[in-house]
Amino acid sequence: MTALSSKNCSFQYQLHQTNQPLDVSCLLFLIILGKTLLNILVLGMRRKNTYQNFMEYFCISLAFVDLLLLVNISLIFYFRDFVLLGIRFTKYHICLFTQIISFTYGFLHYPVVLIACIDYYLNFSKTTKFSFKCQKLLYFLIVIFIWISVLAYVLGDPAIYQSLNAQNVYSCQCPFYVSIQSYWLSFSMMMILFIAFIISWSEVVTLVQAIRITSYMNETILYFPFSSHSGYIVSSKKILLPKLIICFLGTWFPFVLLQVLILLLKVQIPAYIEMNIPWLYFVNSFLIATVYWFNCHKLSLRDIALPVDPFVSWKCCFIPFIIHNLQKIEKPISIIIC
């Protein structure tokens, strides 16, 4: 980890410099190409019946920005040296554009998570009464505002500006920004998940041993056994927590393991790679589970509009709240033996 500095102003952001020449433009092209293909794959795999929310719009905008960056890098990489609108573009601009995008991505984590939390809270509590078209327009405007605001901050920050200008001096090097926001966000999520698992590990083991795979509404789900005479309390956070953990880990366990390894090994990932659509959907599922847990007293309402996760099927956590005789309605397919 190094810090680019000048005689007049020290640069305090975390940077990592490669020792390779600026010919790494080919490597940057391949990385952005792979990320773009991953974006398309993940967006194609998500559930199509999810209602519109802020995180969904931001993920699409991120895929668009990655595609735009890929097109720019491809044009510069192909023509190598050309003039457009009076501006001369060379291979140096591949590194420059990637750096600007890297700084922009690095400052987006906190604002995106904060707005997503507010969005889920307002939708869950039904405090907003916008029409569907107005809500879509509002999400679109918020996404545009976030991108413009963060980009303006990045381009207007004197320290960042000097770090970008320093590349003219160190023309054979291409530094990249490592976001501290993503590190602390990932660390906080893993700690919360670890504490929640320790608190309810016995309930989690018991539920895993008794889980059934069943069919409900033409969809394969996990069914948690429910006893009608056990005095089941719908608003009990202690009972809901292990179910949320099982559903979350059942979908995102490989990603959780990856985050733990990154934190333990202190891997420094450039911000233009770390801010990606799988990461955003992972955070999205965590936020939805948190909203469910904090608002568990409202889950008994039949007409409640629960946030729909593009990847995690949360409905299996709440079906016993609404249908107590599910075993009589749908025949279990199989039993998981743990």
Statement to judge: residues 145 and 249 lie in one domain = no
Is the per-residue pLDDT at 324 higher than 60? no
Is the per-residue pLDDT at 314 higher than 80? no
Is the per-residue pLDDT at 258 higher than 80? yes
pLDDT digits (tens, 9 = 90+) for 270-301: 999 999 999 999 999 999 889 888 877 666 54
Q: Is residue 175 domain-resident?
A: yes
Q: Is residue 7 domain-resident?
A: no
Statement to judge: residues 95 and 203 lie in one domain = no
Statement to judge: residues 144 and 292 lie in one domain = no
pLDDT digits (tens, 9 = 90+) for 187-228: 999 999 999 999 888 888 887 776 666 655 555 566 665 544
Check residues 123 and 286 and name the one with the higher pLDDT: 286
- State which residues form the domain around 323: 183-335
DSSP string, 78-115: HHSSEEETTEEE-THHHHHHHHHHHHHHHTTHHHHHHH
Statement to judge: residues 174 and 213 lie in one domain = no
Asked if residues 293 and 318 have their Cβ atoms less than 8 Å apart, the reply is: no
Q: Is residue 3 domain-resident?
A: no
Q: Is residue 94 domain-resident?
A: yes
- Among 149, 180, 211, the domain boundary falls at 180
Statement to judge: residues 32 and 176 lie in one domain = yes
Statement to judge: residues 165 and 196 lie in one domain = no
- Among 152, 180, 208, the domain boundary falls at 180
Statement to judge: residues 117 and 200 lie in one domain = no
Query: What's the structural domain count of the chain?
Result: 2
Statement to judge: residues 92 and 117 lie in one domain = yes
Minimum mean pLDDT among 37-46, 81-90, 143-152, 265-274: which range?
Answer: 81-90
Q: Distance of CA 205 to CAs 38, 83, 221, 246, 335, Å?
A: 34, 64, 18, 9, 15
Count of CB atoms situated within 10 Å of the CB of 71: 12
Statement to judge: residues 59 and 166 lie in one domain = yes
- Among 180, 197, 214, the domain boundary falls at 180
Statement to judge: residues 24 and 172 lie in one domain = yes
Alpha carbons within 13 A on the beta-carbon side of 91: 16
Q: Is residue 308 domain-resident?
A: yes
pLDDT digits (tens, 9 = 90+) for 44-86: 888 766 667 899 999 999 999 999 999 988 888 777 766 666 6
Statement to judge: residues 170 and 216 lie in one domain = no
Place of tokens 């007049």: 8
